[in-house]
């Protein structure tokens, strides 16, 4: 099993942190209304979020 290079780890970390920030932004957007899980069918932001998580 080959070892991962530092560059790969950095890319992975950046991707993960951006995803985290994205999710936090979505949570912030939906705090004024109903909880995120309840409105994931009608909310456009969370729809894109679910698509990205599946992808």
Q: In the chain, how many domains are there?
A: 1
Q: Is position 34 within any domain? A: yes
Q: How many residues does the chain have?
A: 55
Helices and strands counted in the chain (H then E): 2, 0
pLDDT tens for 21-33 read: 998 888 777 665 5
- In-domain check, residue 47: yes
- d(CA 24, CA 21) in angstroms, rounded, equals 5
Kindly state whether residue 14 falls inside one of the protein's structural domains: no
Tens of pLDDT, residues 2-51: 676 878 888 999 999 999 999 888 877 766 555 545 544 555 555 555 55
Residue ranges making up the domain that contains 51: 28-55
In a domain, 15, yes or no: no
Structural domain contains residue 54: yes
In sequence order, the 6+-apart residues with CB closer than 8 A to the CB of 6 are none
């Amino acid at each position: 099993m080959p070892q991962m290079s530092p560059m790969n780890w950095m890319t992975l970390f950046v991707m993960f942190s951006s995803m985290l920030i994205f999710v936090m932004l979505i949570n912030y957007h939906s705090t004024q209304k109903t909880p995120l899980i309840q409105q994931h069918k009608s909310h456009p932001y969370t729809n894109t979020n679910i698509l990205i998580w599946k992808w």
